[in-house]
Amino acid sequence: MTRIFIDSDACPVKDEVYRVAGRYGLHVFVVSNRMIAVPVGPLIERVVVDAGPDVADDWIAERVSERNIVITADIPLAARCVGKGAYVLEPKGRLLDGDTIGMALAMRNLMTDLRSAGVVTPGAAGFGKADRSRFLSALDTLVVKARKSRP
């Protein structure tokens, strides 16, 4: 069964996930290290983990399986989930899979190394309406793909 996991502490597309998941009847896990508001419903489960680095990531990575969908901008978490056969979608609508995760990890590591060396790097572009629309389209397409790939 396809399930959706949201790495939710800084996720700007939670409402969009709830809408798409509701349309397809998918269970959603909203994982964070603090209490956040989620809609009341049998298919939406709020999971509050202990505070600490990577605790939410570990919770997701331990439970995700093939054909599940993970919503995150965290590249190391994405790599762990892709390794388990899950689909990973960034909030701006970019799909991270076996073909793209290696380059995403390499770029993340390069930027981290540059910042550690004192190089000022550009910040991420702001999140806009076009990003939200691209995410919705990508999530809908991904849900259809995940559901079709069921054994």
The answer to whether 71 touches 6, Cβ cutoff 8 Å, is yes
Query: How much of the chain, in percent, has pLDDT values that exceed 70?
Result: 87
Question: Quick one: tokens of 117?
Answer: 């060396």
The answer to whether 138 touches 95, Cβ cutoff 8 Å, is yes
What's the confidence (pLDDT) of residue 37? 92
Q: Assess whether pLDDT exceeds 80 at residue 13.
A: yes
What's the confidence (pLDDT) of residue 126? 79
Question: Quick one: tokens of 60?
Answer: 């997701």
Taking Cα atoms as reference points, which of 47, 22, 141 lies closest to residue 93? 141
pLDDT tens-digit profile of 32-51? 999 999 999 999 999 999 98
Residue 117 has a CB neighbour count (10 Å cut-off) of: 7
* Domains of the chain listed by start with CATH number: 3-148 (3.40.50)
Please state whether beta strands 87-89 and 95-96 pair in parallel, antiparallel, or not at all (unpaired): antiparallel
The answer to whether 60 touches 86, Cβ cutoff 8 Å, is no
Q: Assess whether pLDDT exceeds 90 at residue 18.
A: yes
The answer to whether 131 touches 90, Cβ cutoff 8 Å, is no
